[in-house]
Amino acid sequence: MEVDFEVGRTIIDDEWRSMFHHDIAVDWARQVLYVRDDEEPEGIMAFSLETGEWVRTLPTPTGDGPRELTHGFRDLAVARGGGIYASGLLRVIEFDASGEFVRTWTPNAPTRQAVCDLAGAPAVPTQGGVVRRGPDGDENIGPVLSNGRAIKAATVELGVAISQRLSSSRISCLDGVAYVVSSYDTGSDSVFVYRAGHEARRIAVPTDFIEDDCLRAVTVNGVTLRRECPMWSKRLRPSFDDLGNLVLFGSDKTTQGAIINPETGCYAMVRTPSNRIHRVARIHADSALVFRHATGRRHIEGLGEMEVTYGNSANGVSLHPLRRVTGDPCPGMLPSVG
């Protein structure tokens, strides 16, 4: 699949915006985009997907109080009924659909960042599984190894590695099933699947467009540099399209990610024409929700004046259709894409 930038609809086009495209949540039912923007560093800004106008701001102040997040906001997810979960390293704040504070939850789990809505309640990844807020206390789902907030490890070094991996893990949930993405120092990410009363399983990440030990020549302002080839399958962030397909997007500027049927493993790769300013964040129906990174000129030592892309600062959001380029379509996946 490729994103067709020749057609589409602009949602936000504001040079003064500075949005971080990784940490977002999209309420497609209510047509609201939740995103972190530099205008409100201790809050989550909500924008209409129909008009691009600001709707509200959810406060997520840094601190140790009951309505604050230790070391700041790290992740967010849409809750059942249109609310929002905002996660820090230790606790999760819940807001209702109108942006009002509901409650705070401190999971009995090691430090982590990610959160999802699992069967109507917040859940976070833990060592070997998932911890969910239950009606009578926290519930462990999957072969959980951690003992509350303590990690189980044979050595200090292994414990540090597990802690770092858990801190960078991402989670997305659908129909009572949790999908956790774990990253490693080398190689592709792994996707683990957890469901109450079922054995944990693993979904294979596609290996298309992955080049090991690859160096690429990049010419910038007449200067040739050699850099490692990008690996799209690292630092993946999971989400779902409207048909229940698992969507994984990384940080590569050309191979944006993959759409996977979580039951069959059939997949489609999502690519963009070579560019350095667009990042695909979500898939809905036959379209991609795309963030446009800001650009500018800076003096770089040894290279002189150069045009640079600000990878953590997007000033545009748009919807663009997908089009099939090669391969046979997966049954039932993106049926309206030609």
Residue with tokens 């109507």: 120
Identify the segments of the chain with pLDDT beneath 50.
none
Q: Residue 235 CA to chain centroid, in angstroms? A: 9
Q: Give the Å distances, CA to CA, from 168 to 60, 75, 184, 230, 313.
A: 20, 11, 9, 19, 20
**DSSP H stretches of helix in 122-155:** none
- Is there a contact between 248 and 236 (Cβ–Cβ < 8 Å)? yes
Residue with tokens 């509200």: 56
pLDDT at residue 209 in the model: 84
50-60: pLDDT as tens digits: 999 999 999 99
Q: List the domain boundaries for the chain.
A: 1-19+242-338
The radius of gyration of the chain's CA atoms, rounded to the nearest angstrom, is: 20
pLDDT at residue 191 in the model: 96
Q: Give the Å distances, CA to CA, from 164 to 10, 114, 180, 188, 263.
A: 38, 13, 15, 16, 29
258-301: pLDDT as tens digits: 999 999 999 999 999 867 789 999 999 999 999 999 887 777 77
Task: Report DSSP letters for 217-241, one per residue.
Answer: EEEETTEEEEEEPP-TTSS-EEEE-
pLDDT at residue 52 in the model: 98
Which residues are 177's β-sheet partners? 174, 195
- Is there a contact between 103 and 94 (Cβ–Cβ < 8 Å)? yes
pLDDT at residue 297 in the model: 76
pLDDT at residue 210 in the model: 77
Joined together, the tokens standing for residue 280 give: 């695909």
Reported as type and span, the H/E element at residue 158 is helix 156-168
- Is there a contact between 190 and 206 (Cβ–Cβ < 8 Å)? no
